[in-house]
């Protein structure tokens, strides 16, 4: 069952609340400013760190609790080299040496290449960064945050924010497999016990 309050609030209130919570995490906001300076094409800070910060807030945990890395995604079709991603990670680390998390940088224009190499499954190439975020493994983690030229937080959440604020883990079955989803659920439930897991079959 969804938590009442923000999870069932209008989207405008959910967006304001998400921005407020994320702005309380200094590591997250410093990384956003760093990425704006780096100016990757069509970039977002996305993935697990966003729900983890929100879940920490509602568990009354330290806002960095349980976070292992920061997922940074961008889209550059004319450079599909893994070495470029690694170069960006290295340069970000040099600019922010005391960041407590790893930087995981992915050019979503090349995801179909490593996805086949790693998992033996062919997927269609993404057309843009937002196309990639749409396929992220859970509805709560399919969220991206970027900074505009005027330093305003901008949110992309193709599956909405209700599950995120409801502490609900629901599979986004566009690409994720059952075993990967259930492994995530087991791991996350140990770290954030208030989570509600929606079974794969649902």
**Amino acid 116: pLDDT:** 67
pLDDT, tens only, 75-105: 999 999 999 999 999 999 999 999 999 999 9
- The tokens describing 91, both together, are 């340069």
pLDDT over 80 at 171, yes or no: yes
Specify the higher pLDDT residue, 50 or 117. Answer: 50
**Positive or negative, the Cα torsion across 179, 184, 190, 193?**
negative
For residues 86, 90, 92 and 94, what is the CA-based torsion angle, rounded to 10 degrees? Answer: 180
**Residue range 105-119: mean pLDDT, rounded:** 86
Domain annotation covers residue 20: yes
**Amino acid 3: pLDDT:** 58
Count, in order, helices (H) and strands (E) of the chain: 8, 7
Domain annotation covers residue 151: yes
Domain annotation covers residue 21: yes
**Residue range 135-157: mean pLDDT, rounded:** 96
pLDDT over 60 at 2, yes or no: no
Domain annotation covers residue 182: yes
**Positive or negative, the Cα torsion across 27, 40, 75, 154?**
positive
pLDDT tier at 141, thresholds 50, 70, 90: very high
Domain annotation covers residue 202: no
**Residue range 158-186: mean pLDDT, rounded:** 95
**Amino acid 65: pLDDT:** 98
**Amino acid 118: pLDDT:** 73
pLDDT over 60 at 49, yes or no: yes
**Residue range 128-143: mean pLDDT, rounded:** 97
Question: Interhelix angle for 11-23 vs 49-59, to 10°?
Answer: 90
Domain annotation covers residue 155: yes
The Cα-based distances of 186 to 62, 71, 103 in angstroms read 21, 21, 24
pLDDT over 80 at 117, yes or no: no
User: How many domains in the chain?
Assistant: 1
pLDDT, tens only, 17-29: 999 999 999 999 9
Domain annotation covers residue 1: no
pLDDT over 70 at 1, yes or no: no
Domain, as residue range, for 133 = 6-197
Domain annotation covers residue 190: yes
Specify the higher pLDDT residue, 111 or 1. Answer: 111
For the chain, give the mean pLDDT: 94
């Amino acid at each position: 069952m969804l938590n009442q309050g923000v999870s069932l609030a209008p989207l405008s209130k959910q967006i304001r609340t998400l921005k407020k919570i994320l702005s309380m995490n200094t590591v997250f906001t410093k990384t956003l400013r760093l990425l704006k300076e780096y100016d990757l094409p069509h970039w977002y800070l996305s993935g697990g760190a966003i729900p983890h910060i929100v879940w920490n807030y509602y568990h009354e945990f330290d806002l960095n609790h349980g976070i292992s890395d920061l997922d940074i995604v961008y889209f550059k079709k004319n450079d599909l080299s893994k070495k470029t991603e690694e170069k960006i990670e290295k340069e970000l680390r040099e600019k922010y040496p005391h960041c407590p998390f790893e930087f995981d940088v992915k050019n979503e224009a090349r995801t179909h290449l490593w996805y086949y190499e790693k998992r033996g499954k062919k997927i269609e190439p993404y057309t843009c960064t937002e196309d990639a975020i749409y396929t992220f493994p859970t509805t709560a983690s399919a969220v991206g945050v970027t900074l505009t030229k005027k330093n305003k937080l901008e949110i992309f959440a193709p599956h909405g924010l209700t599950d995120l604020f409801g502490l609900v883990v629901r599979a986004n079955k566009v690409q994720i497999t059952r075993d990967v989803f259930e492994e995530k659920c087991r791991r996350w439930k140990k770290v954030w016990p208030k989570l509600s897991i929606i079974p794969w079959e649902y």
